[in-house]
Amino acid sequence: MLSLESTGSRMANLARQHLYFGRFFELDEIIEAIEKVTAEELQSIAGEFFQTPRLALTALGNLDGEKFGDLEC
């Protein structure tokens, strides 16, 4: 919702909706669709995308011997 506050962001959002979907979504319609998502659906999607063999880690800074899985820094 905050991204719709500036004129440029609003226009970019409308253009994106038109190009991708061929129609414009009202803010209430977007909020309603977000609120329909269940915890179970979220868990299912997370399980699909966040699998250990597919994860990567980037760390920057003093890690003071932190351990990430089998990797100790």
Q: Where are the beta strands (DSSP E) in 1-73?
A: 67-68, 71-72
- Contacts of residue 63, defined as CB under 8 A and 6 or more positions apart, other chains included, come to 73
Query: Over the chain, what is the mean pLDDT?
Result: 85
The predicted-structure confidence for 19-40, as pLDDT tens digits, reads as follows 999 999 988 998 999 999 999 9
The residue ranges of every structural domain in the chain are: 2-52
Give SS3 for 12: helix
Confidence of residue 53 (pLDDT cuts 50, 70, 90): confident
pLDDT at 56 (0 to 100): 80
Given a contact cutoff of 8 angstroms between Cβ atoms, the answer to whether 15 and 7 are in contact is no
Whether pTM exceeds 0.75? no
Using alpha carbons only, give the angle 64, 56, 59 rounded to the nearest 5 degrees.
25
